[in-house]
Structures are given as structure tokens and as C-alpha cells.
A = this chain, B = another copy of it.
Amino acid sequence: MGEFELIARHFARPTQRAVVGPGDDCAVIAPRAGHRLAVSCDMLVEGRHFLPTVDARRLGHKALAVNLSDLAACGAEPLACTLALALPRPDAAWLEAFAGGLHALAERHGCELVGGDTTCGPLNLCITVFGEVGDGRAAPGAILRSGARAGDDLWVSHAPQGGLGDARLALEVFRGTVALEGTAFERVRRAMECPEPRVALGVALRGLAGAAIDVSDGLTGDLGHLLRASAVGATLEADALPRSAELAAQPLALQRLCTLAGGDDYELVFTVPAGRRAEVEAAAAQAGCAVRRVGRIEAEPGLRIVDQAGGPLEGAWPSFDHFA
């Protein structure tokens, strides 16, 4: 199977919203009047972002999910994406599963695959996503990292039965440092391999959240980016962080590592003025996910992590760094 047949068979589908879809030198897309285009791109490398053993369908899902999560953090509505794919060889069964996982998530979010590139090389997936945000006049603009203000509540999103840290718990099982079997393992493995981007929540938070970021490299590290961009600090209540039954059954030190510095969560951490708590709860209910208040924004720079009694938590929570 050659390059063009591969694209035609697995990736080319008719587009509805793009003016020109796949098959020309460029795709042509257009945000609606009063809107702008939010753009983000993430590259996934085998062995670094996913294990060689991962199911191809789940990998197709995750490659798009991590990009949609960036749109969610800006409150953008998905519009289209491009996929560049380097493959050691064209494997039809693998491609069918990969494309199936990607298209299934794309269709749920109205995110059309409008173009891309396939080539021969070590397995590497690069997706660029495009979403619509308001221009700040006719419709609320993008939620940025820089809009947090002292006095705001600090919130995180989570799955109704889940929380932060499950993806890291699954990684520790693969690393052999934690033993977990059966359904419990399947649940945390699913959190790692099939994250659910909080797109509907991000859209519902427009005009409500002052600042937001998605948790990809670990909560404390990503929250640190938001605090620096906003020139504020925060107190984070470690024991208030939502966690699944599987993680809650682990030793407290592991729970804290996974929730505070786990990585691969793809939940939103965001700030909202304290007087608007009911609106946040309503936005989450509308979006079909849960949210929890986990701290507050303060004028003093820095991140202060406290336990249930309000005492400072000892320890360092290193953020994920691809070159560290």
C-alpha cells in the first residue's frame, strides 16, 4: 500500500464545516463571524508519550485527546485538525484501529480531519487542532493562563468516579513499583490511555473562569505556569484533590505524588471569582463532569501546598520535563 492509498483508505472523509478538506495543497477553514481561531499542536513519540504495547485504537484517541485538551483549556470549540504521521511501515490493521479511535473522538467533538502528512520513519504522531473562540466582543474570548486574580477560587475538573493521578498510578503499575490487578488496573489504565478532554467544560467556563490550564505535566507544575502568567500565588489543599477509589486505596505518599505531580491527567485547573461558585457547579453539570474547589488564589507569589489541618506539606513535586 502506497502513501496516497493509505491516506485515502484510512484518513480521508468528507468534511462538513471545512471549506476545502483533505486532498489539495492546503485545507481551507474559516471561523464564524465574531470568532477567532485557537491553534495548538502536540507531538507524541513512542516510548516517551506512550508504550509500544498500547492498543492502536486507544492511541488514536489519545493523540487527538491531548490536543483537544489544549482547546478545552482556552474554552475553544473544536473545528478541525491535521495529522502528521511517521510510521516504520504501513500496517493496515494498525492504521484501521488508529484511525478508528481518532475519528470516533473527532466526530464526538465536531473536529474534522482536514489534512496532514504521512511518511516513513520511527513512530511519531503530530496533531494540530483548530478551535473557535469569541473575539471578546460578540462572544467571550479565549480563557488564558494570565487571568487569575487574588481572591479567586481554584478549581479542578474530574470524572464523576475519578480524580487526578490515575494515569500516573497506571504508569507505576507498568513500571512495576505498584501492584494492581483486574478491574482496578483496567480502570486506571483506561485513565492513562483514554483521557477524556474537558471540551464542554472549557466552553461552559467562557466568561466565567479568569484563567485555566490543562494538567498534562503534573498539577503543581502546570498550576505554576498559570500563577506565573497571572503574577499571583496560591494555596492548594492537597487533601481536597479528588481521587478515584483505586488511588485512595494506595499509601498517602503515593496518592500525593500521583495527584500533585502525576502528569497525563488532562483535567482543567481554573480560577473563578469566589462569588460565582454556583455558576461553576452549573457549568460542570451541563458539561457532564465533576469539579472540586481545591484552593484559592493569593497576591503573594508562589505555590503553598497545605494538608487537611492547613499545615505546609513537605516535599518537592517535580513537573514532567521532556529533556530532564
Q: Which residues of A contact B (CB under 8 A)?
A: 1-4, 6, 19-20, 23-31, 36-49, 70-71, 73-74, 76, 80, 82, 84-87, 89-90, 114-122, 124, 126, 128, 130-131, 133, 135, 141-142, 144-146, 212-214, 229, 321-324
Closest chain B residue, CB of each to CB of A47: B121
Closest chain B residue, CB of each to CB of A133: B28
Contact of A323 among B2, B29, B122 (CB under 8 A): B2
Contact of A25 among B30, B36, B128, B213 (CB under 8 A): B213
Judging by beta carbons under 8 Å apart, are B120 and A45 in contact?
yes
Q: Report A76 CB to chain B, min CB distance, Å.
A: 6
Judging by beta carbons under 8 Å apart, are B145 and A42 in contact?
no
Judging by beta carbons under 8 Å apart, are B6 and A323 in contact?
yes
Q: Report A209 CB to chain B, min CB distance, Å.
A: 12
* A-B CB proximity, top 8 nearest: A45-B121, A126-B126, A43-B84, A25-B73, A26-B38, A128-B128, A30-B36, A122-B122
Contact of A36 among B29, B41, B116, B324 (CB under 8 A): B29
Judging by beta carbons under 8 Å apart, are B323 and A24 in contact?
no
Judging by beta carbons under 8 Å apart, are A142 and B86 in contact?
no
Q: Report A98 CB to chain B, min CB distance, Å.
A: 15
Give every chain B residue within 8 A of A135 (Cβ-Cβ).
Answer: 30
Contact of A24 among B85, B124, B144 (CB under 8 A): B144
Judging by beta carbons under 8 Å apart, are B120 and A40 in contact?
no
Judging by beta carbons under 8 Å apart, are B30 and A31 in contact?
yes
Give every chain B residue within 8 A of A27 (Cβ-Cβ).
Answer: 38-40
Q: How far is the CA of A146 from the CA of B36 in the complex (A)?
A: 29
Q: Report A23 CB to chain B, min CB distance, Å.
A: 7
Q: How far is the CA of A49 from the CA of B70 in the complex (A)?
A: 30
User: In the complex where A2-B321, A48-B121, A214-B25 touch, is A43 in contact with B74 (Cβ < 8 A)?
Assistant: no
Give the number of times this chain occurs in the complex, counting copies.
2
Judging by beta carbons under 8 Å apart, are A23 and B229 in contact?
yes
Judging by beta carbons under 8 Å apart, are A84 and B23 in contact?
no
Judging by beta carbons under 8 Å apart, are A86 and B25 in contact?
no
Judging by beta carbons under 8 Å apart, are A126 and B36 in contact?
no
Q: How far is the CA of A321 from the CA of B7 in the complex (A)?
A: 12
Judging by beta carbons under 8 Å apart, are B26 and A73 in contact?
yes
Judging by beta carbons under 8 Å apart, are A323 and B28 in contact?
no
Judging by beta carbons under 8 Å apart, are B20 and A84 in contact?
no
Judging by beta carbons under 8 Å apart, are B84 and A42 in contact?
yes
Judging by beta carbons under 8 Å apart, are A26 and B2 in contact?
no
Judging by beta carbons under 8 Å apart, are B45 and A86 in contact?
yes
User: In the complex where A26-B71, A42-B84, A144-B20 touch, is A322 in contact with B37 (Cβ < 8 A)?
Assistant: no
Q: Report A284 CB to chain B, min CB distance, Å.
A: 19
Contact of A128 among B29, B41, B212 (CB under 8 A): B41
Extra 16 A-B pairs, beta carbons < 8 Å, given A28-B74, A41-B84, A118-B322: A2-B324, A24-B142, A25-B74, A25-B212, A26-B40, A26-B71, A26-B76, A29-B36, A40-B82, A40-B115, A41-B117, A41-B128, A43-B119, A43-B126, A86-B124, A121-B122
The residue in A30, A133, A322 that gathers the most chain B C-beta atoms within 10 A of its C-beta is: A322
